[in-house]
Amino acid sequence: MNPTASPAAGAEGTSTAGGASASGTKGHFIDGAWREPATAETIEVVNSFTEQVMGSVPAGTAEDVDAAVEAARAALPGWRALPVQDRAGFCTLIGHGLQDRAEEIAGLISQELGTPVTEGMLIQSSLPAIDFTSMEYLVEELPWEQTIGNSRIIREPLGVVGAITPWNYPLHQIAAKVAPAITAGNTIVLKPSEVTPLAACLLAEVIESVGLPPGVVNLVFGTGPVVGEAIVSHPGVDMVSFTGSTRAGIRVSELAAASVKPVTVELGGKSANVILDDADFEAAVVNGVQKCFINGGQTCSALTRMLVPRESLPVVEAVAAAALAEIRTGDPADPETQIGPMSSQVQRDRIRGYIEKGIEEGAKLVGGGPESPEGLDQGFFVQPTVFSEVTPEMTIAREEIFGPVLSIMPYDSEEEAIELANDSLYGLAGGVWSTDQERAVNVARQIETGQVEINGAAFNPLAPFGGRKLSGHGRELGPYGIEDFLTLKAIQL
Residues noted as catalytic: 266, 300
Rounded-to-10 torsion of CA 406, 412, 414, 419:
-70
Contact 327, 320 (CB under 8 A): no
Distance CA 461, CA 452 (A): 14
Taking CA atoms, 3 is separated from 46, 130, 188, 213, 219, in Å, by 13, 34, 25, 31, 18
The alpha carbon torsion through 282, 283, 289, 293 (nearest 10 deg) reads 160
Q: List CB contacts of 93: < 8 A, sequence separation 6 or more.
A: 210
Asked if 138 and 158 count as a contact pair (C-beta separation under 8 A), the reply is no
* Spatial separation of the C-alpha atoms in residues 484 and 472, rounded to whole Å: 14
Phi, psi of 369 (to 5 degrees): 145, 180
User: Please, are residues 272 and 406 in contact by the beta-carbon 8 Å criterion?
Assistant: no
Closest Cα to residue 56, out of 67, 64, 47? 47
Alpha helices in 294-367, H assignment, sequence order: 313-325, 345-360
Q: How many CA atoms lie within 13 A of 200 on its CB side?
A: 37
Please enumerate in sequence order all residues whose Cβ is within 8 A of that of 249, keeping only pairs 6 or more positions apart, or say none: 242, 265, 267, 472
